[in-house]
Amino acid sequence: MEFKQAESTYIVRIDKGEELVETLKQLCAEQNITLGSVSGIGAVNKATIGLFETATKQYHSTELTGDFEIASLAGNITIMNNEPYIHLHIVIADADHKTYGGHLNTATVSATAEIIIHTARTTINRKFSGEIGLNLLKF
């Protein structure tokens, strides 16, 4: 991974073989990013994406392998338990242009990923909600 900071924006290149979510989490910890928005494009050859089922309060995840373009990557950065909390959603497309989307658990970059992080100079924490079953923003 390499990155360049321009005021409150980070332009990040994640390299082949790197795990996308953990790499972003590491960058946020090193750079003390406590609040931000994430967007990106690129290519992955393995991704685990999920859907939260509200009735059961459980995530159902699927692992996909093969060549995929990241058609859209969007999310945010907050803090939970004094660590960066990376919440991302992704849409990936295969060679037939069939798309898959959902909450991104993990993804291995196959060529490159180009990520932009816009930061803010404050901190937003998360707290687990038993009622909802998710880690919600805590204001």
For 110-132, write each residue's pLDDT tens digit. 999 999 999 998 999 999 999 99
Give residue limits of the domains in the chain: 2-138
Which residue reads 């930061």 in tokens? 119
Which residue reads 């999310």 in tokens? 75
> Phi/psi zone of residue 45: left (φ > 0), alpha (ψ -120 to 50 degrees), beta?
alpha
Domain 2-138 CATH (choose: 3.40.50.300, 3.90.180.10, 3.40.50.200, 3.30.1330.80): 3.30.1330.80
The pTM is what? 0.92
CA distance 76 to 34: 10
User: What's the pLDDT score for residue 6?
Assistant: 65
State yes or no: pLDDT of 107 exceeds 80.
yes
Give me 97's structure tokens.
């242009």
